[in-house]
Chain A
């Protein structure tokens, strides 16, 4: 009778423990957060390549030196890429934590199978008999218990990890946003530098001078137009148009290069702007994740996923430009 009572009390105790464990929220699915971290990392890498390309264009045919802007940029941006790699590892570790918590019963089953193999190898079990039903039940129970423990531990660890990382995440976001602002300035400066060089080509510069003069004279002629154009005036106008057209033809080849430069600058600035917005959204999403973990409620990361999609499109655009 006494033994039955003890067993009942133990049973009640276990039930209470299971009930408490079941009430603990499982760690949330952070797959979308990890995916967005990956996209963000790609955009920082793509920004590095694009800005580096502009600075190499600015260097022209001169040999690379450690102090030139392209080399300085490459060295400095390496740290940014490495930081993003670490953030990807961090996000992946959260995903692994969530998966390990949810799949904890599989880990127990796997250990049980290996123990069976060990018993066979040690000659203490007959491999032909397999695992008995009692052992299978024990494994299932152990798996269930371990899973409940793992879910609770996983949620707690995730909250602690996200809490510990959050101040650094906010600082990183601030620094990278400032870096991207400066990257935008670099793209504008390098593009301006290249424009100056392209336009300083003597043929282009002379033709542009002719074009400016033609426009000036035409403007004068039309400022106070005569009621009736004389044949001389019409001939003068035709002559001006011919000179202007010849100047335009000379300018066209450099003009095409300048247009390509404009398009490339625009695409790079769009990518940099989107990367800045995305890292801000990403840091905010990390804050929402932390709040969700503290309050034990699910999280939504729709806006972050949208930002990630936009980034992917812009990276492609810069690569294609």
Chain B
């Protein structure tokens, strides 16, 4: 939008200029043209800075121009936010797809690392050690120690059972 600021003299000149800027702003808003709206924001700022003298009508025009500039820039931001929010559901669905692929890949990694074999052997080793200790405690230990060892054995057996069931 081309305005020759130096040619604006009277309050009527400034009002006519403001009217034409606001008409352009309405058109740009109807067309959802962000670039045009942002360009008009600049023109409205220029209007406020260049308008002179500071008589009542001119200061009133400045207030209108500033309100329009703020509303126009806020509308640009709001519309962009609307577009971003509208894409959120799509992204959530795509995120699930990626998570599923990652889960499958990680499962294969666990297989290649023999994770289950490691866990199974660790569990069996723990159970075996607990049983070994139990023999000693059975001969020399008191009741409290005995029940503690029994609890350890029970836990080891439960862990082993859970692993086997999971495998099955």
Specify whether A and B are partners: yes
Question: CB-CB < 8 A to A178: which residues of B?
Answer: 83, 87
Interface positions, chain B 29-76, Cβ under 8 Å from A, are: 34, 38, 41-42, 44-45, 48-54, 62, 66, 69-70, 73-74, 76
Question: CB-CB < 8 A to A190: which residues of B?
Answer: 73, 77
On whether the beta carbons of A110 and B81 are closer than 8 Å, the reply is no
Q: Assuming A107-B112, A192-B42, A212-B52, is B88 touching A76 (CB within 8 A)?
A: yes
On whether the beta carbons of A165 and B109 are closer than 8 Å, the reply is no
- Partner of B117 from the list A69, A80, A111, A172 (CB cut-off 8 Å) is A111
Alpha-carbon distance A118/B51, docked complex (angstroms): 90
Q: Assuming A79-B92, A172-B94, A182-B80, is B118 touching A96 (CB within 8 A)?
A: no
On whether the beta carbons of B77 and A86 are closer than 8 Å, the reply is no
Q: Assuming A107-B114, A118-B124, A165-B101, is B83 touching A205 (CB within 8 A)?
A: no
Answer whether residue B1 sits at the interface, using C-beta atoms and an 8 A cutoff.
Answer: no
- Partner of B48 from the list A72, A115, A182, A205 (CB cut-off 8 Å) is A205
Answer whether residue B78 sits at the interface, using C-beta atoms and an 8 A cutoff.
Answer: yes
On whether the beta carbons of A189 and B77 are closer than 8 Å, the reply is yes
Question: CB-CB < 8 A to B90: which residues of A?
Answer: 171, 175
Interface of A is mostly: helix
Answer whether residue A34 sits at the interface, using C-beta atoms and an 8 A cutoff.
Answer: no
On whether the beta carbons of B74 and A189 are closer than 8 Å, the reply is yes
Q: Which of A9-17, A196-204, A225-233, A309-317 contacts B (4 or more CB under 8 A)?
A: A196-204
Question: CB-CB < 8 A to B5: which residues of A?
Answer: 212
Alpha-carbon distance A188/B75, docked complex (angstroms): 12
On whether the beta carbons of B70 and A197 are closer than 8 Å, the reply is yes
Alpha-carbon distance A110/B113, docked complex (angstroms): 10
- Per-position 1/0 for A78-94, Cβ under 8 A of B: 01101100110110011
Question: CB-CB < 8 A to A186: which residues of B?
Answer: 76-77, 80-81
Q: Which of B17-25, B125-133, B160-168 contacts A (4 or more CB under 8 A)?
A: B125-133
Alpha-carbon distance A35/B117, docked complex (angstroms): 31
Answer whether residue B139 sits at the interface, using C-beta atoms and an 8 A cutoff.
Answer: no
A245 CB, min distance to chain B CBs, angstroms: 17
Interface residues on B, range: 35 or more
Question: CB-CB < 8 A to A200: which residues of B?
Answer: 48, 66
Q: Which of A150-158, A235-243, A275-283, A289-297 contacts B (4 or more CB under 8 A)?
A: A150-158
Answer whether residue B122 sits at the interface, using C-beta atoms and an 8 A cutoff.
Answer: yes
On whether the beta carbons of A86 and B91 are closer than 8 Å, the reply is no
On whether the beta carbons of B112 and A208 are closer than 8 Å, the reply is no
- Per-position 1/0 for A196-223, Cβ under 8 A of B: 1101100001101110110010010000
- Partner of A175 from the list B6, B77, B87 (CB cut-off 8 Å) is B87
On whether the beta carbons of A185 and B80 are closer than 8 Å, the reply is yes
Answer whether residue A19 sits at the interface, using C-beta atoms and an 8 A cutoff.
Answer: no
Chain B: CB-nearest residue to A55: B77
On whether the beta carbons of A97 and B81 are closer than 8 Å, the reply is no
- Per-position 1/0 for A96-128, Cβ under 8 A of B: 110011011001101100110110011100000
Interface positions, chain B 96-129, Cβ under 8 Å from A, are: 97-99, 101-102, 104-106, 108-109, 111-114, 117-118, 121-122, 124-125, 128-129
Chain A: CB-nearest residue to B37: A189
B59 CB, min distance to chain A CBs, angstroms: 9
Residue positions of B touching A, CB distance < 8 A: 5-6, 34, 38, 41-42, 44-45, 48-54, 62, 66, 69-70, 73-74, 76-78, 80-81, 83-85, 87-88, 90-92, 94-95, 97-99, 101-102, 104-106, 108-109, 111-114, 117-118, 121-122, 124-125, 128-129, 132
Residue positions of A touching B, CB distance < 8 A: 55, 58, 69, 72-73, 76-77, 79-80, 82-83, 86-87, 89-90, 93-94, 96-97, 100-101, 103-104, 107-108, 110-111, 114-115, 117-118, 121-123, 146, 150, 153-154, 157-158, 161, 164-165, 167-169, 171-172, 175, 178-179, 182-183, 185-186, 188-190, 192-193, 195-197, 199-200, 205-206, 208-210, 212-213, 216, 219
Q: Could you show 20 A-B contacts with beta carbons less than 8 Å apart?
A: A72-B81, A76-B84, A83-B98, A87-B98, A90-B102, A97-B105, A101-B112, A111-B121, A117-B121, A146-B114, A172-B98, A179-B87, A186-B80, A189-B34, A189-B76, A193-B77, A195-B45, A196-B70, A209-B50, A216-B6
Q: Report the 4 A-B pairs with minimum CB-CB distance, sorted nearest first.
A: A189-B76, A193-B73, A208-B49, A100-B112
Q: 6 new A-B pairs (CB below 8 Å) besides A69-B74, A121-B125, A186-B77? A: A111-B118, A161-B101, A168-B97, A175-B87, A190-B73, A209-B54
